[in-house]
Amino acid sequence: MTRSRHAARVPSAVREIFDETVARTDAFCLRHLDEEYADLCATLAAKLARKRPSPLVRGDRGIWAAGIVYTIGRVNFLADPNSKPYLRTEDLARLLEVKQTTMTNKGRVIMDTLDIGLMDPAFSRRDMIDRNPMVWLLQIDGLLVDARHLPEAIQVELHRRGLIPYVPAQRADGVDQT
């Protein structure tokens, strides 16, 4: 997913703020984390930009960028030494050049505003989605089933309906084929 795709869905009234915020998150993520983090940050920034009224129009854009990176990091356990990439929260704040409490407070506001929880599939890295059984459990005719074990045709339909993030039967070598 390209970040320009996110920009296409951002209202023109907040496009400049969105662009500046994403430029900051991109610069940070591409230097200290990776492309997947950059894309997830752009996804989150776009969602904040589309909210009415957009919270991005108030406050320092650098702090919003820091809050966005922190939020995506929190959802994906960036501060867990077993995670790759790994970055401690205090190091994240230092590299983003903001106070840790300011960054974490902004992250909490973002999570509360958009009702984002830990391991939220919409903001999870691919490896987190793959390991999160809750993403794949669906109730069909009163039974809980793991969508990864259903026939490919059913997986395709579930993906089309937005019930699963990708079609596991079509995934080869870690690349989403949908």
pLDDT (tens digit, 9 = 90+) per residue, 29-67?
Answer: 999 999 999 999 999 999 999 999 999 999 899 999 999
Domain ranges of the chain: 3-123, 132-170
pLDDT (tens digit, 9 = 90+) per residue, 105-119?
Answer: 999 999 999 999 988
Biggest alpha carbon–alpha carbon distance for the chain: 52
Question: 141: which 2 tokens?
Answer: 């005719």
CA gap 119, 117 in Å, rounded: 6
Average pLDDT over residues 154-159: 92
pLDDT of residue 18: 95
CA gap 5, 88 in Å, rounded: 30
3-123: CATH topology is: Cyclin A; domain 1 (1.10.472)
Contact between 107 and 113 under an 8 Å Cβ cutoff? The reply is no
pLDDT (tens digit, 9 = 90+) per residue, 61-98?
Answer: 999 999 999 999 999 999 999 999 999 999 999 999 99
Question: 123: which 2 tokens?
Answer: 């903001």
